[in-house]
Amino acid sequence: MYFAILMKKANASHDITVYERNGPDDTFGWGVVFSGKTLANLRAADEESHAAITRAFAAWDNVDVVHGEEKISIHGNSFSGIARLQLLKILQQRCQELGVEVKFRTEIPEMETLRNSCDLLVAADGVNSTARKQYSDQFRPSLDIRPNRYIWYGTNKLFHGLTLTFRENEAGVFAAHSYKFNQTTSTFIIECDPETWNPAGFSAMSETATREYLERVFAADLQGEPLLSNNSKWINFLLVKNEKWFFENAVLIGDALHTAHFSIGSGTKLALEDAIALFECFQETGTIGDGLVRFESTRKPVIEAYQAAAFDSMRWFENAREYMHLSAIELAFALMTRSGRVDYDGLKRRDPEFIARYEARAGVSSER
Ligand SMILES: Cc1cc2nc3c(=O)[nH]c(=O)nc-3n(C[C@H](O)[C@H](O)[C@H](O)COP(=O)(O)OP(=O)(O)OC[C@H]3O[C@@H](n4cnc5c(N)ncnc54)[C@H](O)[C@@H]3O)c2cc1C
């Protein structure tokens, strides 16, 4: 939808149709989170949707790390959360205003007929992309099913800030990624390694029993608020890459093309920025063939750098049990520096007080 908005806005004579198997109000999951930089990119691309998105936002600057009895806050970060459904509604509205046709409840089971009927097929069909499967000889995807499982809940307990909570029980270690995304609701994603998931017995547990089990694990954090399910199920994270990004007149964008672990919070950001990059490549080159070549050659290095950072972050969570012996402040430092995108000096600039506490606890010298 975002790519369609940008193309139609640039030239109203473009004839663009979006096909969506779901209805306009169906969505999985709860909220998504964006960084300040993503918002600047969205503003530059389309002020109208940016204004609607930021009106609907919950913004914060802290990452909170909860371990044992302690909560450590690290300030100086810039994040915002929005309900996934609300974001979709804003994009749907913008499509309507500009005259992009969105055909809901329309499954595309087979891409070739559609591809032959249009100048350009942009397959933004998600992590289980039909286009990627049907044209796998062309795109040459690699799919890596990761060992950790996660489950995406909501809750009315409000977590002000991106809150990473670690809890242990007899089965093992659970990590929750939570943040408020509107006045009443937070996203609450729980993940655990197979060494925890198997002994906990989730494979034989009903959805209700699973939810109740996890409410007990995070009882101190949820403070009596239930976990809210939206057809929530355990999933293994799937790491998607593609050797080729396009062929002839077909191109992949978003999760169909690449995934990045949710602990770096940027799957939706990357999908939207793909749309911006693809649009700009067409503006700059003026032809579909040249635009697609430029898209792959300029965007791929950016995505590879993101995926590398997200990979380190994902591995950290896969190995979270190895960090549980640390004090809360040491754990917070390890977490903040996990993907290599933030280092000691960067943290010191963001939140000198946090670094002072870390040094005092860990006995680290400030002479670096
Ligand atoms: C647990 C979890 C937490 C996440 N948290 C965040 C977060 O905090 N921030 C963030 O930025 N991202 C987050 N993400 C990632 C984010 O959800 C995805 O990266 C993002 O939705 C990708 O957008 P997309 O448009 O590529 O794919 P999708 O959002 O998956 O959209 C694809 C669409 O195509 C439709 N479709 C698919 N196949 C067909 C077909 N054959 N015919 C018709 N329609 C079809 C689907 O119905 C769907 O609506 C999270 C992901 C997970 C799993």
Answer for the pair 151, 157: CB distance below 8 angstroms, yes or no: no
Q: With bands split at pLDDT 50, 70 and 90, how would you rate the model's confidence at 78?
A: confident
CA of 255 to the centre of ligand 1 (A): 6
Report the alpha-carbon distance of residue 67 to residue 17 in Å, rounded: 48
CA of 348 to the centre of ligand 1 (A): 35
CA-nearest of 29, 36, 85, 28 to 56 is 85
For residue 237, the SS3 value is strand
Q: With bands split at pLDDT 50, 70 and 90, how would you rate the model's confidence at 367?
A: very low
Which residues, in sequence order, are bridge partners of residue 250?
121, 247
CA-nearest of 156, 138, 185, 125 to 1 is 125
Q: What is the mean pLDDT of residues 284-289?
A: 96
Q: What is the mean pLDDT of residues 81-98?
A: 94
Answer for the pair 73, 62: CB distance below 8 angstroms, yes or no: yes
Q: With bands split at pLDDT 50, 70 and 90, how would you rate the model's confidence at 341?
A: confident
* pLDDT surpassing 80 at residue 45: yes
Beta-strand pair 17-19/101-103: parallel
pLDDT number for residue 368: 45
Probe target for ligand 1 pocket from 2, 17, 20, with the most ligand atoms within 8 Å of CB? 20
Q: What is the mean pLDDT of residues 264-287?
A: 93
Residue 19: CB within 6 Å of ligand 1?
yes
pLDDT number for residue 106: 98
Residue 85: CB within 6 Å of ligand 1?
no
pLDDT in tens, 110-164: 999 999 999 999 999 999 999 999 999 999 999 999 999 999 999 999 999 899 9
Phi/psi for 165 (5° steps) reads -115, 130
* pLDDT surpassing 70 at residue 76: yes
Answer for the pair 99, 210: CB distance below 8 angstroms, yes or no: no
Phi/psi for 212 (5° steps) reads -65, -40
Residue 269: CB within 6 Å of ligand 1?
yes
Residue 333: CB within 6 Å of ligand 1?
no
Nearest protein CA to atom 33 of ligand 1, as residue = 125
pTM over 0.75: yes
Report the alpha-carbon distance of residue 263 to residue 62 in Å, rounded: 15
Residue 262: CB within 6 Å of ligand 1?
yes
Residue 20: CB within 6 Å of ligand 1?
yes
pLDDT in tens, 186-239: 999 999 999 999 999 999 999 999 999 999 999 999 999 999 998 899 999 999
Report the alpha-carbon distance of residue 331 to residue 337 in Å, rounded: 10
pLDDT number for residue 249: 98
* pLDDT surpassing 50 at residue 279: yes
* pLDDT surpassing 60 at residue 86: yes
Q: Which is higher by pLDDT, 220 or 182?
A: 220
Q: With bands split at pLDDT 50, 70 and 90, how would you rate the model's confidence at 30?
A: confident
Helices marked H in 117-206 — which ranges? 130-134, 136-139, 194-200
Output the CA–CA distances (angstroms, integers) from residue 72 to 69, 239, 249, 329, in the order listed.
10, 30, 50, 6
Report the alpha-carbon distance of residue 180 to residue 83 in Å, rounded: 9
pLDDT number for residue 364: 62
Answer for the pair 173, 194: CB distance below 8 angstroms, yes or no: no
Residue 237: CB within 6 Å of ligand 1?
no
Answer for the pair 162, 77: CB distance below 8 angstroms, yes or no: yes
Residue 273: CB within 6 Å of ligand 1?
no
Report the alpha-carbon distance of residue 272 to residue 277 in Å, rounded: 9
pLDDT number for residue 342: 84
pLDDT number for residue 59: 84
Residue 104: CB within 6 Å of ligand 1?
no
Phi/psi for 31 (5° steps) reads -115, 165
pLDDT number for residue 340: 79
CA of 368 to the centre of ligand 1 (A): 42
Probe target for ligand 1 pocket from 32, 113, 235, 257, with the most ligand atoms within 8 Å of CB? 32
**Backbone conformation region of residue 26, classed left if phi is above 0, alpha if psi is from -120 to 50, else beta:** beta
For residue 19, the SS3 value is strand
Report the alpha-carbon distance of residue 143 to residue 254 in Å, rounded: 15
The chain-wide mean pLDDT, for the chain, equals 94
Residue 30: CB within 6 Å of ligand 1?
no
